[in-house]
A and B are shown apart, each in its own frame.
Chain A
């Protein structure tokens, strides 16, 4: 439910979202060269497929957002990756809409970028050490932060569009709390797994393809 449908948000919010995400997208694309396109695409595809898994939580089930993890592993490239995923979801699956694409991208990508900025340097340091715990914690922080920040941005886009949406925005934020918990656990597990199995996927000196994605 991270996709806001068309017809809800006000024109100023839509236009701000479109301009901001177009600007960020241009910056991110400038940092991505053709040499690293296959790696970026393969990882985005892996994230896309992973977000289709429905994970049971209590009596219901959720789909993971994974934007925190994308920020950690892809850095700036998370932005075009998320944009592509949202375009495909809107056009081929009917999630979201057309004019809201900019806002939806921003809502997912800004938290991913923040996770990248705040946690990638930490991860670069910790991945060398043998202990599991710090890496798991970094992942958990990214997972929770990605979801909660997205929920806040979602609420903000609704709230700025009209007073009448504020109760709906509050309900939405509450529905994201269980997802944040599960996503924190799963993201931590993923990072811990990668540290043992394929540390080249984590940011660091030896990471081949992905590290060069800035």
Chain B
């Protein structure tokens, strides 16, 4: 089906990846819980770094993980772009608001070396962490991701909400595409005017109405299958020796980088 002109053309690709290279064997074989723990630990470690070069190293490791996970550079670039709007505002203001040795002057404003360094550090950290999240957690199937979260101690009710939501997002996005197509067939062109905003209001309203209808059907189907107020998670996580080795390697990497960051 052709992608619509408007509204997250990469949605299905992000939640249900089909394109791109497969993940490297050693990464694909890892326990999902380990991958989530590693992503979290890596994020906390990156946050604690204070030197440009250690942060840069962490970023390179993140890129290596992304390559191992089979994320294409194009897709990765597109995802990271989402981050940079916020970053741009920070990067442009920080050098001028942090006091320190002057780097360059623009009229009354002076950019400081410290400010520029701090901005660069934030840029490296934010991107490094997002890349690891996408590589280690984002490349999992959403269902596997949800189960791993539950096994790591997230409340089961929350995980069930997540699993249901992921499934419904897929279906409602198709619903949205149909309605979007129907609007465009009737010569609807989004513009910055009241008509467009009203039409989108009705579109969102219709999406909500259809989602409620869906929910009623799901509830009915669940009752038919003997639902009695509780849902179950059916996966059987298995931890193998490769996971232990990977966890050890991760520990060594985190220790080495944080120590190097303190000492140098």
Q: Do A and B bind each other?
A: yes
A contact residues vs B (CB 8 Å cutoff): 1, 3-8, 25-26, 29, 32-35, 37-46, 48-50, 52-59, 64, 66, 73, 80-81, 83-85, 87-88, 90-95, 97-99, 163-168, 171-172, 182, 185-190, 192-194, 197-198, 200-201, 209-210
Does more than half of chain B's interface fall in helix, strand or loop, or is it mixed?
helix
CB atoms of B192 and A58 under 8 A apart: yes
- Report B-chain residues with C-beta under 8 Å of the C-beta of A35: 219, 229
- Report B-chain residues with C-beta under 8 Å of the C-beta of A167: 93, 96-97
Q: Told that A38-B219, A91-B137 touch, could you supply 18 new A-B pairs with CB distance under 8 A?
A: A7-B123, A7-B125, A7-B129, A37-B157, A40-B164, A41-B161, A45-B171, A84-B162, A88-B142, A88-B162, A91-B134, A94-B82, A94-B83, A98-B44, A168-B97, A189-B200, A197-B209, A209-B212
Proximity string of chain B (96-137) to chain A, C-beta cutoff 8 Å, 1 when within and 0 when not: 111000000000000000010010011111100110011001
CB atoms of B161 and A193 under 8 A apart: no
- Report B-chain residues with C-beta under 8 Å of the C-beta of A85: 165
Complex-state Cα separation, A29 to B159, whole angstroms: 11
Complex-state Cα separation, A58 to B191, whole angstroms: 8
Does more than half of chain A's interface fall in helix, strand or loop, or is it mixed?
helix
Complex-state Cα separation, A55 to B162, whole angstroms: 26
- Report A-chain residues with C-beta under 8 Å of the C-beta of B173: 49, 52
Complex-state Cα separation, A64 to B5, whole angstroms: 17
- Report A-chain residues with C-beta under 8 Å of the C-beta of B96: 167
* Closest chain A residue, CB of each to CB of B170: A45
CB atoms of A53 and B200 under 8 A apart: yes
| Residues 124-156 (chain B) with a chain A CB within 8 angstroms | 124-126, 129-130, 133-134, 137-138, 142, 145, 155
CB atoms of B208 and A73 under 8 A apart: yes
* Closest chain A residue, CB of each to CB of B85: A1
CB atoms of A50 and B126 under 8 A apart: no
CB atoms of B218 and A42 under 8 A apart: yes
Complex-state Cα separation, A1 to B84, whole angstroms: 10
- Report B-chain residues with C-beta under 8 Å of the C-beta of A197: 205-206, 209
Pairs A–B under 8 Å by Cβ, sample size 6: A1-B86, A5-B83, A48-B165, A99-B43, A193-B205, A210-B212
* Closest chain B residue, CB of each to CB of A73: B208
- Report B-chain residues with C-beta under 8 Å of the C-beta of A188: 201
Complex-state Cα separation, A189 to B221, whole angstroms: 32
CB atoms of B165 and A182 under 8 A apart: no
* Closest chain A residue, CB of each to CB of B114: A164
4 cross-chain pairs, A with B, having the tightest CB-CB distances, nearest first: A189-B201, A7-B125, A41-B164, A45-B168
Instruction: List the one stretch of B8-16, B20-28, B233-241 in contact with chain A.
Output: B8-16
CB atoms of A209 and B231 under 8 A apart: no
Q: Does B46 contact A (CB under 8 A)?
A: yes
Q: Does B52 contact A (CB under 8 A)?
A: no
Given contacts A39-B219, A99-B47, A168-B89, contact A182 B208 (CB under 8 A): no
